[in-house]
Amino acid sequence: MSSEKIEHIVLIDDEPSVVFALKLLLQALGYKVQDFSNPQAAVEWFKDNIPADVCLCDLKMPGLNGLQVLDATKRLRPELPFVLMSAHATGEEIEQALSLGASGFLSKPFTPEELQQLLADLIKGP
pTM to 2 decimals?
A: 0.92
Mean pLDDT (whole number) for 76-99: 94
Q: Report which of 76, 119, 83, 120 is spatially closest to residue 102, judged by C-alpha positions.
A: 83
Whole domain around residue 102: which residue ranges? 8-120
Q: How confident is the model at residue 49 (pLDDT cuts 50, 70, 90)?
A: confident
Read off the CATH number of the domain in which 53 is found: 3.40.50.2300
Statement: residue 122 has pLDDT above 50: yes
Query: What pLDDT does residue 4 have?
Result: 54
Residue 3 lies inside a defined structural domain of this protein: no
Residue 95 lies inside a defined structural domain of this protein: yes
Q: Is 34 exposed, middle or buried (0-12, 13-18, 19+ CB in 10 A)?
A: middle
Residue 125 lies inside a defined structural domain of this protein: no
Average pLDDT, the chain: 92
Angle between helices 66-76 and 39-47 (to 10 degrees): 0
Residue 14 lies inside a defined structural domain of this protein: yes
- Rounded Cα–Cα distance for residues 120 and 114 (Å): 10
Q: How confident is the model at residue 126 (pLDDT cuts 50, 70, 90)?
A: very low
Domain count, the chain: 1
Residue 23 lies inside a defined structural domain of this protein: yes
Q: What is the CA radius of gyration of the chain?
A: 14
